Amino acid sequence: MSAHTQSVALGSRTRTRLPLNTLAIPLGFAGLAQAWSVATTALGTPFALAQTFWLIAALAWISTATAHIHRSKGATHGISHQLTHFAQGPLAALLPISAMLLGTNLHRTFPLAGTLLTLFSIAAAAAFGAWMMSFWMRGEMALESVHGGYYLPISAAGLVGALAAAQSGLDWLAVGCFAVGLFFWVVITMFLFLRLALRPTMPAALVPTLAIMIAPPAVGAAAWLTISNGQPDVLFEALTSITAFMVMVQVPLLARYRALPFSHGFWSFTFPVTSVVALAIVWLHLLHPPAWQVITVGLLGAATILVALIAMKSILLIRTTLRRPAQ
């Protein structure tokens, strides 16, 4: 065997796994598709347009999952190494969460297949969330490890699961998912604010996860509105108010976000932003303020541009990484 062949073989055996934050890519596209679906109801935009975004989200889910499986071959560490990593582990929940949303859209055209995908995704997320919580309860986790991604395994999975179940007609499951997601949203928020207030500044790579704070109340509001058959009530208004306040909290963080070098972690911005946009469109449709249709189009355009820019920069980042000579 030549030296070059040995070098290639050694490189293939020692390559690392893809970071789990790349699993936010299909969720970002699914969130954008969800916003366009809400706009279909509010503005009467073509159904096919929203379906185009759902197709992109499905392809992103398949390609991302395939890339992770392919990259795992010959990796130096098993999947357990990532799942038990206090920074990366919670991000694995992104895969079943995005599958839940894909299941709700599939339900619109193929009810049985969509329902099965939604149920399977919720079950997978529940199993992972239960395991992750038992792992946290071992007493080995430092408070410094907590970041915005800790919402994902239980809180975000529960609230997105509630939305998916309600949109699939599984009201009995939707209420249970909502209760779990809401409870652990409060729990994780307490730990996250303690970490941010009492521990050193969060590393730059994890700073984008702070944007996830706006997603649980936004998704929770959308889920509850669906569970209550589209009738706004006090809980819906309360969750919307909390969403608005959490968006205000993000404003002072914008300068910090702009100072960050681009990374795949920027996909953490996409689902929270698109979730807030979808909720805003719902409110605009309910209240019909002056120029609400123009505002809706503006919000949709801004969310679409954000996701498109992050996607293009991610492609450029991947190309740059592939061209970089091996060390």
Q: What does the pLDDT look like over 19-68, one tens digit per residue?
A: 888 999 999 999 999 999 999 999 998 999 999 999 999 999 999 999 88
| Structure confidence at residue 269 as a pLDDT band (50, 70, 90) | very high
Residue 261: pLDDT over 60: yes
**Span 259-267, mean pLDDT?**
93
Contact 219, 167 (CB under 8 A): no
Q: Residue 88 has which token pair?
A: 């990366």
Q: Is the pLDDT of residue 5 over 50?
A: no
Q: State the CB neighbour count (10 A cutoff) for residue 267.
A: 23
Structure-block tokens of residue 151: 């919402």
Assign 86 to helix, strand or coil: coil
3 in any annotated domain: no
Residue 280 counted as domain residue: yes
What mean pLDDT is predicted for residues 157-174? 96
- Is 162 a residue whose pLDDT tops 50? yes
86 alpha carbon, distance to own chain's centre: 18
Confidence of residue 70 (pLDDT cuts 50, 70, 90): confident
- Total domains, the chain: 1
Q: Is residue 134 one of the residues assigned to a domain?
A: yes
Interval 282-287 mean pLDDT:
94
| Residue 78 pLDDT exceeds 70 | no
Within a domain: 1: no
**pLDDT computed for residue 7 by the predictor:** 35
**Number of neighbours of residue 54 by Cβ within 10 angstroms:** 23
User: Does residue 248 form part of some domain?
Assistant: yes
DSSP-assigned letter for residue 77: S
The token pair that represents 24 in the structure block? 């936010």
- Res 10 pLDDT > 70: no
Domain contains 275: yes
What totals of helices (H) and strands (E) does the chain contain, helices first?
Answer: 13, 0
pLDDT of 252 > 60? The answer is yes
Place of tokens 């969130």: 31
144 Cα distance to chain centroid: 22
Q: Return the pLDDT at 2.
A: 42
218: which 2 tokens? 């936004």
Structural domain span for residue 51: 19-68+80-323
The CATH number for 144's domain is 1.50.10.150
Over 50: is that where the pLDDT of 239 sits?
yes
- The answer to whether residue 43 is domain-embedded is yes
Q: Which is more confident, 86 or 303?
A: 303
Residues 305, 294: Cα–Cα separation, whole Å = 16
Residue that has been written with the tokens 């040995």 in this structure: 6
Tell me: pLDDT of 97 over 90.
Answer: yes
| Interatomic CA distance for residues 327 and 180, integer angstroms | 47
Inform me whether the pLDDT recorded for 325 exceeds 70: no
Query: Do the domain assignments include residue 5?
Result: no
